[in-house]
Structure 1
Amino acid sequence: MPTSPSDTSAPYDLAVIGAGPAGLAAAVTAAELGLRCVLLDAGPRPGGQYYRHPAPGLGAAHPERLHHGWSAFTGLTGRLAASTVTHLTEHHVWTAERGEVWRLHATVGAGATGSAVVEAKAVLLATGAYERQLPFPGWTLPGVVTAGGAQAMLKAGLVLPGRRIVVAGSGPLLLAAASSLVSAGASVPAVVEAGNYLGYARGLGTLAANPAKLVEGVGHGATLLRGKVRLRRSSAVVEAHGTDRVTGVTVARLDAEWRPVPGTERRIDCDAVAVGHGLLPQIELATELGAETVLTADQTVALKVDEGLRTSLSGLWAAGETCGVGGADLAIAEGELAARVIAGAPVPAALRRRRDRRRAFAALMAAAHRPGPGWTDWLRPDTDVCRCEEVPVAAVREAVEELGATDPRTVKLLTRAGMGWCQGRMCGPAVACLSGSTELRPDSRPLSCPVPLAHLADGS
């Protein structure tokens, strides 16, 4: 399998950005259909965030036990190894130039010490998603991690964030994370779900069309039952306690708008908290170029695509979480579908039906776990909203109520919220909600990751 550009004078037929489920499926399918394809990924190994796996040096004997759908991943990597795909690892694409031929600029290496420019006639964006965080008092304490972060520690490092871990937030990732933690030997006293799961009742037909998802849910439930894990619905962690690290959390019942119900607070002792409220599509490369977006059922912004997964920009396709969060099965189906459309090959009816079923389930899931507007009631004036710049709730509210800010950008300029290392990925949704903005705009920035000045100076 090639690992570096073999002929820099000729553009590739297709460049796939991201080696997660969607990117892997797209790259191997495109190559098998005769396209000269390059796969660029920021990670050192394929798999993306979903198929994280231990480094060979850790000697994990059975990494498949920490993953759902491991056989699908090994099938894709087997096809990748046998293909003509040029797989460029540790290539983080930070911007793209449109034209008859696309020019992708990337930093190279774990320390971004090198640079590269890759040219291609078409581009498929499969950059996945990152977690949505809603702050609460104490969320900056050591021991409080994201739900996906807890899974990443376990899958990639074979370590646990603690021994007694409360899993909290909203969305199906919570059940998967808790199941993995229990299987690895952690004690999980509770899974605290802000939603109530009743939203799924509005889509019984969609549920029936996706039996694999039901089986997956039953499997997680059985693991949690064996681990004596209590599921607390319509509840949230409203405060984490501790000094040097978290020692416990306060959990409260929520009303239909996600406001804490007074008098329902209860403390749970723990040494770690894994919390997340769903995922946000990572689409900065496309939105900076002006690609059209849509608002999903859980109020996240995704790329607008047609039935062939074309974006509004000529020559740019998208697949997987960039089109709206829906899981690995959907991502694989969309990666293959997009590759076939790009190659001009027929799309099997069964593949299109599978994609449509998975996408319908994703929409149902998003609606069921959409955050309620009342979550801000669990904040205190001194609660940090922006962790990087240590901007508290009081500063954001002052910008809105006294200085006239009406949107996240103005709040950012007045308070520095979102100007830190993560560039608003952690605090963006919270700042937008506190600013009172009713129009969610796509994230847009000229550079999708930190870039050494030397790379900008030499035009690479």
Structure 2
Amino acid sequence: MTSSPSDEPEYDLAVIGAGAAGLAGAVTAAELGLSVALLDTAAHPGGQFYRHPAPALGATRPEALHHDWSTFDELRRRLADSDARYLAGHHVWTVVRTEPRRDRWEVHAATGADGNGERPVRVRARAVLLATGAYERQLPFPGWTLPGVVGAGGAQAMLKSGLVLPGRRVVVAGSGPLLLAVAASLATAGARVPAVVEASGYLGYARHPRALAADVHKLAEAAVHGTALLRHRVRLRTRSAVTQVHGADRVEAVTVSRLDRDWRPVPGTGRRIACDALAVGHGLVPQLELATGLGCATRRTQDGTSALDLDADQQTSVPGIWAAGETGGVGGVRLACVEGELAGVAIAARLRERPALTAGGRVRALRRRRDRMRAFAAVMAAAHAPGPGWSRWLDDATDVCRCEEVTAGRIREAVTDYGARDARTVKLLTRAGMGWCQGRMCGTAVACLVGEGQGAQLPPSPERRPLAVPVRLEMLAALAETAARENPPSKAPQPPG
């Protein structure tokens, strides 16, 4: 017999994700009089950006590894001073509309920091704010499965939360502004960084001076990172990519090749760089599983990913579901804070029937700031969008789906020999994307390889799944038992007799 889900009291608002957007939304809504539950998988708030060491590690200055630490300190203080309830270690696996009342939502989670689920938990709320963040986009290449190859964001997370480096001599590669921040952090912490290898260039920014001028904070951040790289003599190589990793049991060196405008390696340009670790990532992908499971509409972004389609007040296409932060498109921590605050005000206005809240100067200012930062985010996404020729890095033996060990050759075979025309058909033929990560690591690569066989680059489409993350069967059984108990079947009338 499985245990029934334990119920939290019903809240006005359930916020999923305690990063910058979720924190800002939760404290804003609570300060406007709403009862708020803030759910997050981690033991402490902060999300990916504000990861920080556990107290047991004895870090005396965790803020040294962060920008805008004062913003997090203020959000954390406001959370402590509010009546919002922080539910740590809650892995949310689905959100459903309640029956028969269609204006209520049930958030189902499994407790436990390791995700195994000590017990099922159900949170009821009148509205839901999705602040689930993003994960790294990975483009495979020969040798990327060797020990010592980590995500660029993963390397930064190791440093922020564990105070450890991925290696002593670390090449940082991929595309996007995160690379500069990661390289600067690693070099400042004592790692030797031989090179930052950026597949794109930075001229794309220069074509949009108005967007740059509207977000000078981003320019200041870039200047800080650039100064750190100069101080530590880190070489920046643009229009280049790591096209192969060398080593027997772990990383020993990488080959860096020049790229043409379509990201195809230029023959004869490969240069070998000795290292014992590679931190690599090609931007971020909004984490939309809960949203697409609810049927929320998405839009295509400038870098080929999908983000939620939101209205002026951060509401999704599904009434009662709002979103903030990277779910609406990757834009950074300051944008996430603004969107979280804007969503918190809008939700309070709706639930408290106080439309004047969204008509004041505060909301108008928030919308202007959001729009300026969203414009910069669009420029950033376009500047670092993967070129169609990146799949030329791959030989047929390269693993694309690491979970199921599906190679590029098998995917190409599914396209050319078996007629697959989309990533879903490739999944059915090869199992690519059926593993533990559910396509988060390989989804982009599989879609692009399908497009390669058709002479086009097909971006991955967000899939609608009833479960956002893997969940144990006992959780589903507990949910079914609870539903049967709360909604017993009506007895059929007995014949007279």
Distance 1:265 1:7 in 2: 59
Which residue of structure 2 aligns with residue 312 of structure 1? 317
**SS in structure 2 opposite 1:238?**
strand
Which residue of structure 1 aligns with residue 426 of structure 2? 411
Alignment check: 8 A CA contact 2:6 2:121 kept: no
Which residue of structure 1 aligns with residue 36 of structure 2? 37
Which residue of structure 1 aligns with residue 256 of structure 2? 251
Which residue of structure 2 aligns with residue 143 of structure 1? 148
Alignment check: 8 A CA contact 2:149 2:277 kept: yes
Alignment check: 8 A CA contact 1:400 1:411 kept: yes
Distance 1:189 1:250 in 2: 13
1:382 counterpart = 2:402:
no
1:278 counterpart = 2:283:
yes
Distance 1:384 1:331 in 2: 35
Alignment check: 8 A CA contact 2:7 2:123 kept: no
Report the TM-score, using the length of structure 1 for normalisation.
0.97
Aligned residue type for 2:462: P
Aligned residue type for 1:385: V
CA distance change for structure 1 residues 6 and 379 in 2, over 3 Å: closer, same or farther? closer
Distance 2:387 2:95 in 1: 36
Which of 105, 108, 111 aligns to 1:108? It is 111
The alignment of Structure 1 onto Structure 2 pairs a total of residues equal to 455
> Displacement of 1:456 after TM fit?
0.5
Which residue of structure 2 aligns with residue 221 of structure 1? 226
1:196 counterpart = 2:173:
no
Deviates more, 1:12-21 or 1:434-443: 434-443
Any residues of structure 2 matched to 1:152-191 within 5 Å, and which?
Answer: 152-191=157-196
1:16 counterpart = 2:15:
yes
> Displacement of 1:6 after TM fit?
12
Alignment check: 8 A CA contact 2:448 2:459 kept: no
CA deviation vs aligned residue, 1:365-392 (integer Å, no higher than 9, x gap): 0010000000001101100001111111
Distance 1:56 1:115 in 2: 28
CA deviation vs aligned residue, 1:270-289 (integer Å, no higher than 9, x gap): 00000000000001111012
Which of 325, 333, 356 aligns to 1:328? It is 333
CA deviation vs aligned residue, 1:66-107 (integer Å, no higher than 9, x gap): 111111001100100111001100111100112310001101
> Displacement of 1:311 after TM fit?
0.4
Which residue of structure 1 aligns with residue 475 of structure 2? 455
1:301 counterpart = 2:316:
no
Aligned residue type for 1:363: A
Say which one has the larger Rg: 2
Alignment check: 8 A CA contact 1:105 1:116 kept: yes
1:438 counterpart = 2:461:
no
Distance 1:103 1:170 in 2: 39
Alignment check: 8 A CA contact 1:236 1:253 kept: yes
Deviates more, 1:162-171 or 1:447-456: 447-456
Distance 2:162 2:460 in 1: 36
Alignment check: 8 A CA contact 1:381 1:393 kept: yes
CA deviation vs aligned residue, 1:218-242 (integer Å, no higher than 9, x gap): 0000000001000000000000000
1:69 counterpart = 2:72:
no
Which structure 1 residue ranges, 5 or more long, are not aligned? Answer: none
> Displacement of 1:444 after TM fit?
2.5
**SS in structure 2 opposite 1:13?**
strand
**SS in structure 1 opposite 2:252?**
strand
> Displacement of 1:54 after TM fit?
0.3
Which residue of structure 1 aligns with residue 132 of structure 2? 127
> Displacement of 1:204 after TM fit?
0.5
Deviates more, 1:450-459 or 1:315-324: 450-459
Distance 1:7 1:388 in 2: 35
Distance 1:257 1:7 in 2: 53
* Residue identity (%): 66
Deviates more, 1:436-445 or 1:211-220: 436-445
1:211 counterpart = 2:216:
yes
**SS in structure 2 opposite 1:122?**
strand
Distance 1:439 1:145 in 2: 24
Aligned residue type for 2:461: R
Which of 384, 405, 410 aligns to 1:369? It is 384
Distance 1:202 1:108 in 2: 48
Distance 1:6 1:241 in 2: 51
> Displacement of 1:440 after TM fit?
3.6
Deviates more, 1:345-354 or 1:144-153: 345-354
1:428 counterpart = 2:433:
no
CA deviation vs aligned residue, 1:149-202 (integer Å, no higher than 9, x gap): 000100000000000000000000000100100110000000000001111012
CA distance change for structure 1 residues 401 and 216 in 2, over 3 Å: closer, same or farther? same
Alignment check: 8 A CA contact 1:283 1:443 kept: no
Distance 1:146 1:8 in 2: 36
Distance 2:450 2:138 in 1: 16
> Displacement of 1:8 after TM fit?
4.0
